[in-house]
Amino acid sequence: MAKWHRLRKRIHVLCFLIFLALPFCNVVRFDIPRQRFYFFGYELWINEFGIIFFALMFLMFVVVVASVVFGRVYCGYLCPQMIFSEASAALQLRLRRWLKPRERLARAAFYAVLAVASVFLSFIFIAYFVEPTDLARRLATLDIHTAAGICGASVTLLTFLDFAFVRLRFCTTVCPYGYLQGMLSDGNTLLVHYRDKNVECIECKKCVRDCPMGIDIRTSPFQIECVHCGECIDSCETILARLKKPGLIHYSWGVEGRSRFRFDAKRIILALVVLFYASGLAVALSMRHAVLVRIAADRATLYRTGPDGRIYNHFRYSIANRSQKPAAVVFSMQELPGATLALAPNPVAVKAGETVQGEFDISAPAGRRAEFVTHFNILASTIPDPVTEAFPLTFISPTEAQ
Ligand code: SF4
Ligand code: SF4
């Protein structure tokens, strides 16, 4: 018995460990000070709109599909608010039992432990937006003067108040996901369903007493407070097992009480949308160059004639190294015979996470150009990654050179 409770607690521990690990392993972090989005080890710059768009749309549709198919199972099994609210209530109860009958001491001990836990949880939460070592440095210096420090102190205070007083009231009042779920569920969504065709309920009300949300599932399977945790299923099975009868509350797909998941047109379309964004994300990531090179001709002056009689065109470049290791770019030319590229040093070195900008001239002998505009390529080869990009550009010569 209590199988759903045991499963839920195991998943809670796993989720807690994942919650701790994600920002430290750069799996997910929206690094606000650095303007970077870390996604499964990729360090994406904020201007990499395509990849960030596909990543966010993919995550959003995963949440939508999970809600349409599994209802509020996320709330009961995976949500940090639920996990820490239940942990806080369990801790309070345990301290009361240990320190009985010293009620005041138990309360003081609970608030002291919760204060330390709030600092820790806030640290992990903010690490989803600020690099953890930077955050640890701010915490060590008790920074409450800068915007980030004030934000950290506020989050700690809110965390403390939340898990001391609000807890699961948050789920039934302000949580937007609960309201969204109500709109997304349909006749095939997973429900916690009470069925009693033979009127076997003994009115013990254990399912009501054990419900963390304080509701009676027997009145309706569509109550917005129900987080589909399954505690009432365990309660009813435990009680009726003593009478050698099966429980009256079950997980079921839809109100007809189906025990099997059924694909319908809506679910197939949603699966295709998730597949579309997953494929878009995979393609965008596979096409991504860690070192982004841009080259453009400076046409403030079309060309100039140098003291050596050669024709000069001016160009600008920028190199953004979006990787976590140093890189260099070698520039060379293609299809412009007799021309020289005046750039020193070449290769251009770029440190990890930096952007370098610069200018260079390309010169060609006067009178050799057959046309006013000559099309050619500049090749940018990245070291150490063996990536070579060709930039189609134009070289402009004076008309009298024809
Ligand atoms: S636990 Fe089962 S038997 Fe008891 S009141 Fe709830 S539904 Fe009825
Ligand atoms: S009614 Fe049952 S499934 Fe819903 S929140 Fe209460 S205990 Fe959990």
Q: Whose CA is nearest to atom 4 of ligand 2?
A: 226
For 60-101, the pLDDT digits (tens) are 999 899 999 999 999 999 999 999 999 999 999 999 999 988
Answer yes or no: is pLDDT of 299 > 50: yes
Answer yes or no: is pLDDT of 401 > 70: no
For 182-199, the pLDDT digits (tens) are 888 888 999 999 999 888
Mean pLDDT of all residues belonging to the chain: 90
82: Cβ below 6 Å to ligand 2? no
pLDDT given at position 1: 62
Closest CA to 6 of 66, 77, 70: 77
Cβ atoms of 343 and 363 closer than 8 Å: no
| φ and ψ at residue 294, rounded to 5 degrees | -125, 135
In Å, how far from its chain's centre is CA 31? 11
213: Cβ below 6 Å to ligand 2? yes
207: Cβ below 6 Å to ligand 1? yes
Q: Report the distance separating Cα 25 and Cα 157, nearest Å.
A: 26
Average pLDDT for 319-330: 91
Pocket test residue of 81, 172, 208, 231 for ligand 2, highest count of atoms within 8 A of CB: 231
Peptide bond between residue 176 and the one before it cis (omega within 30 degrees of 0): no
pTM exceeds cut of 0.85: no
Q: What percent of the chain has pLDDT over 90?
A: 60
Q: Report the distance separating Cα 168 and Cα 170, nearest Å.
A: 5
Pocket test residue of 193, 200, 231, 235 for ligand 1, highest count of atoms within 8 A of CB: 235
Answer yes or no: is pLDDT of 218 > 70: yes
Ligand 2, closest atom to CA 216? 1
pLDDT band at 402 (very low <50, low <70, confident <90, very high): very low
Give, to the nearest 10 degrees, the angle between helix 80-98 and helix 103-126: 160
What is the 251 CA–ligand 1 centroid distance (Å)?
Answer: 15
Closest CA to 8 of 332, 227, 318, 248: 227
Q: Report the distance separating Cα 16 and Cα 14, nearest Å.
A: 5
What is the 341 CA–ligand 2 centroid distance (Å)?
Answer: 72
Q: Per residue in 257-289, is it b (16+ CB within 10 Å) or e — as a string?
A: eeeeeeeeeebeebeeebeebeebbeebbeeee
pLDDT given at position 10: 96
